[in-house]
Each structure stands twice: as C-alpha cells, then as structure tokens.
Amino acid sequence: MSPERYNRIREMLRMRQTDLTVLMEEVHKPHNVSAVVRSCDAVGIHEIHAVWDKKTRLRRGTAMGSQNWVKTHSHDTISDAIGHLKGQGMQVLVTHLSDTAVDFRDIDYTKPTAIILGQEKYGATDVAIEQADQDIVIPMVGMVQSLNVSVAAALILYEAQRQRQQANMYDKQNVSEAECQRILFEGGFPKLRKMCDIKGIPYPYIDETGQIAEGDDWWKQLQLTPEKLASIEQGNDES
C-alpha cells in the first residue's frame, strides 16, 4: 500500500462517527441502498444497520458490494434493531409524518443518534414508529409529500454533519486502533485479505508507512514467493 493511500485511509478513520448511524427498514431497491451507504460514508458514519426481507437479503451483496468502507449490521426484526441501538444509548428517530413530528433540523444530532429510514413505498412500519423516540419530517411545500429515501437520508445526514462539525466532533478519533488496523489491511491489501480469510490467518499489523510489519512465520503461512508477493502488490496498487 502506498503512503498516500495509507494516509488517506487514516484520515478517513480519524473522522469516523461511531455514534451516528442509520437503520434501513426493508429498503429494497439496490440503487437506493447503495446511495444511502454512499451518503453515510460521505458524512463519516462508521456502521449502519438494516432489516431486510428475504428477497433483499439474497441480493444485498450485489447492491452494496462497492461500499467497502461502511460496516453493515443485519437484524432479524425491527424490534431487535431498535433494541440494539437503544442499548448503545442512542436516540432513535424515524422519518414519519405525524402530529408529533418535528422538523429534522430541530433535532440535536450531537447526541448519539440513529435514524430509521422506512421502505420506499410504505415508509416505516407501525412497530418502528411506536418504538422510535421521535418522528421527524422534511418540510415540503410542493405537490409531492415525500422525497426519495436516499435523498431524504442525505439531507438529514448532512444536517447531522453540520451540527457535529460545529461541535468539533470530527476532531477526535473514535474508532479503536484494532478496528483501524482491520480496515487498513482490508482496504490496502484486498487480495491478501482474501487469502487470509480463506486460510484463517490473522490479519497483520500495518505500520505507519502502510506496509505489513510481520515476521517470516506470518508470510510462510501464506506460502508466497517473493515473485508472487510482488505480483500481488502490483495488483493492489493498480486497484
């Protein structure tokens, strides 16, 4: 991995927000899933959550295969997902028009926050609405009553980013060094990462120059010749 790529990944990890996330509730269209994940990556979200129906569960790898920088946690039910997030001390918001809904810009996103995004056609389920802490809306003054789910996600997330930047929340690293090492290896050495996963070999330590800092024993586990390693490294640089 080049020093430039190493520094770029390190800078990304330094600004990741571990207590800001979204929960997609059966959002099933691949282009919407991918767009939401890209917006999450853009504002520094580290992990997202999802509840999939069976059809979506089978194809979500295709929809999200290019999104390698945001970890996805799948949950069996919306209640399981909300319970998990509340267990982490997060306020849970849901995009839903109701008498008690507030403008999304009136929320304090400097608090640990999870945002539920409902299914494209029907929106959030009754269970999600009942268990969430607050309904939020994006004001609409035109003829349509709702935005595309990925557009709505982007608007809300960038308001969260704005508030967190004003509070200097992007100035302190929240991701653990162990997690940073995992992402550095997976993002910097994708072909070696596949070999480690297949062989069950622990991921190596990545030093401050972006290189693998391990002894001969680790390399012997991969059974790589210098020529093969050079070929793999060249492939990584080109990717």
Q: How far apart are CA 89 and CA 78, in angstroms?
A: 17
The pTM (predicted TM-score) of the whole model is 0.82
Instruction: Tell which wins on pLDDT, 120 or 190.
Output: 190
Q: Which residue shows structure tokens 């056609």? A: 121
pLDDT digits (tens, 9 = 90+) for 177-219: 999 999 999 989 988 998 898 888 899 999 999 999 998 888 8
Q: How far apart are CA 235 and CA 8, in angstroms?
A: 19
Report the alpha-carbon angle 195-191-204, nearest 5. 65
Whether pLDDT at 61 is above 50 = no
First to last CA, the chain: 11
* Residue 62 annotated as binding site: no
Report the alpha-carbon angle 190-61-58, nearest 5. 150
Sequence letter at residue 197: D
Whether pLDDT at 118 is above 60 = yes
* Residue 138 annotated as binding site: yes
Whether pLDDT at 239 is above 50 = no
Edge-to-edge strand ranges of the sheet holding 113-117? 71-75, 47-51, 20-25, 113-117, 91-95, 134-137, 102-103
Quote the mean pLDDT of the chain: 86
Using alpha carbons, select from 61, 161, 154 the residue that is nearest to residue 109. Answer: 161
All structural domains of the chain, each given as residue ranges with its CATH number in brackets, are 17-166 (3.40.1280.10), 177-238 (no CATH)
Q: How far apart are CA 206 and CA 185, in angstroms?
A: 7
pLDDT digits (tens, 9 = 90+) for 124-153: 889 999 999 999 988 887 766 677 888 999
* Residue 198 annotated as binding site: no
Instruction: Tell which wins on pLDDT, 122 or 107.
Output: 107
- Reduced 3-state DSSP string for the chain: CCHHHHHHHHHHHHCCECCEEEEEECCCCHHHHHHHHHHHHHHCECEEEEECCHHHHHHHHHHHCCCCCCEEEEECCHHHHHHHHHHCCCEEEEECCCCCCEEHHHCCCCCCEEEEECECCCECCHHHHHHCCEEEECCCCCCCCCCCHHHHHHHHHHHHHHHHHHCCCCCCCCCCHHHHHHHHHHHHCHHHHHHHHHHCCCCCCECCCCCECCCHHHHHHHCCCHHHHHHHHHHHHHC
Count Cα neighbours of 79 within 13 Å in the Cβ-side half-sphere.
3
